[in-house]
Amino acid sequence: MKVPQAGAVAAVIALALTATGCGGGEEDQGTLPIGIKFDQPGIGMRETGGVFSGFDVDVATYVAKELGYKPEQIEFKQVLSNDRELLLQYNEVEFVVASYSINEKRKEKVDFAGPYFVAHQDLLTRADDTSITKAEDLNSKTMCSVSGSTSAENLKKNLAPKAALLELGAYSDCVVALQEGRVDAMTTDNAILAGYAARKGNEGKFKLTGQSLSNENYGIGVKKGEKELQRKINDALKKMVQDGSWEAAVKKNFGPNYKYDPAPAITTGS
């Protein structure tokens, strides 16, 4: 009987392991595509050189680790607010971690794990401005938000109907307008505002007013019906809180002055 050469044996073993997934571990399935925001400092940001930063990035990386993936196996894909459901439905990403507020309308199309964070609509002003302490103070001032923002709609409709509104294409544009004095405040979720305030170069220039104009429970979106993945992500989120990684990520990404809610209880899944 002819003894196979070592190289041939190795090739056969490698082929068998590839076919069987090396025992079924998820880490052997290649990359893990995760949807995040690319333009929200403190939340999800693609930095110069392709490095990713932000609280959602840290949460996604921790969850991936608990699912058996190394950081280098993660493929972050950009998601916009209006295409998160589509990317899940068409299997472009495995899950979405992108300041994704849980609500009943969205739950008709996707399942959520979490929540893993509670944000509140707030106002960002210049650090030396003492004239704005509550939403009603904007009735005689100009505020900025992105076009079609529900935050701006809430403020104009319910809290400061006489405020002037400047709608721009991105929150980063609002930050520039605020710094230049073209507006008096900008509004969106406090986590997003805190990220801009803590961003390198912005330290000491802005402050949050500490409003809680709405409650936004951020969840991790998964494809409808993926109950096992939902359960595994929930387990990972619980562990992240228990071992202190969650709080460390909050403080790292939102700055030392950010007043945050405790980690919320997991309310999704069975």
Please indicate, yes or no, if residue 261 is contained in any of the structural domains.
no
Please indicate, yes or no, if residue 2 is contained in any of the structural domains.
no
> Span 238-245, mean pLDDT?
98
Q: What is the pLDDT of residues 72-94, one digit of tens each?
A: 999 999 998 778 999 999 999 99
Whole-angstrom distance, CA of residue 97 vs CA of residue 269: 17
76 shares a domain with 36: yes
Please indicate, yes or no, if residue 270 is contained in any of the structural domains.
no
Whole-angstrom distance, CA of residue 116 vs CA of residue 234: 9
Q: Is 220 helix (H, G, I), strand (E, B) or coil?
A: strand
84 shares a domain with 128: no
* 246 CB neighbour count, 10 Å cutoff: 21
Instruction: Assess whether pLDDT exceeds 80 at residue 9.
Output: no
Please indicate, yes or no, if residue 22 is contained in any of the structural domains.
no
Instruction: Assess whether pLDDT exceeds 60 at residue 22.
Output: no
Return all residues near 106 (Cβ < 8 A) that are at least 6 apart.
Answer: 85, 100, 112, 221
pLDDT band, residue 259 (cuts 50/70/90)? confident
pTM confidence score: 0.77
199 shares a domain with 128: yes
Please indicate, yes or no, if residue 24 is contained in any of the structural domains.
no
pLDDT band, residue 28 (cuts 50/70/90)? low
Q: What is the pLDDT of residues 115-132, one digit of tens each?
A: 999 999 999 999 999 999
Please indicate, yes or no, if residue 11 is contained in any of the structural domains.
no
State the pLDDT at residue 270: 60
161 shares a domain with 224: no
pLDDT band, residue 14 (cuts 50/70/90)? very low
Based on DSSP, count helices (H) and strands (E) in the chain, helices before strands.
9, 12
Q: Is 144 helix (H, G, I), strand (E, B) or coil?
A: strand
State the pLDDT at residue 229: 98
52 shares a domain with 114: yes
State the pLDDT at residue 23: 34
85: domain CATH number is 3.40.190.10
Q: Where are the beta strands (DSSP E) in 84-227?
A: 95-96, 110-126, 142-146, 164-168, 185-189, 206-208, 215-223
Whole-angstrom distance, CA of residue 23 vs CA of residue 19: 10
103 shares a domain with 229: yes
Contact call for residues 113 and 268 (beta carbons, < 8 A): yes
74 shares a domain with 113: yes
Return all residues near 88 (Cβ < 8 A) that are at least 6 apart.
Answer: 35, 95, 96, 110, 221, 222, 223, 224
106 shares a domain with 141: no
State the pLDDT at residue 82: 78
Residue 162 belongs to domain spanning: 120-208
Locate 128 and state its tokens: 């030396």
Return all residues near 198 (Cβ < 8 A) that are at least 6 apart.
Answer: 41, 42, 253, 254, 255, 258
pLDDT band, residue 4 (cuts 50/70/90)? very low
Percent of the chain with pLDDT over 90: 63
137 shares a domain with 90: no
Return all residues near 256 (Cβ < 8 A) that are at least 6 apart.
Answer: none
47 shares a domain with 114: yes
Listing DSSP states for 13-38 in one string gives: HHHHHHHHTTTT-GGGS--EEEEE-S
| Cis-peptide, bond into residue 71, ω within 30° of zero | no
What is the number of structural domains in the chain?
Answer: 2
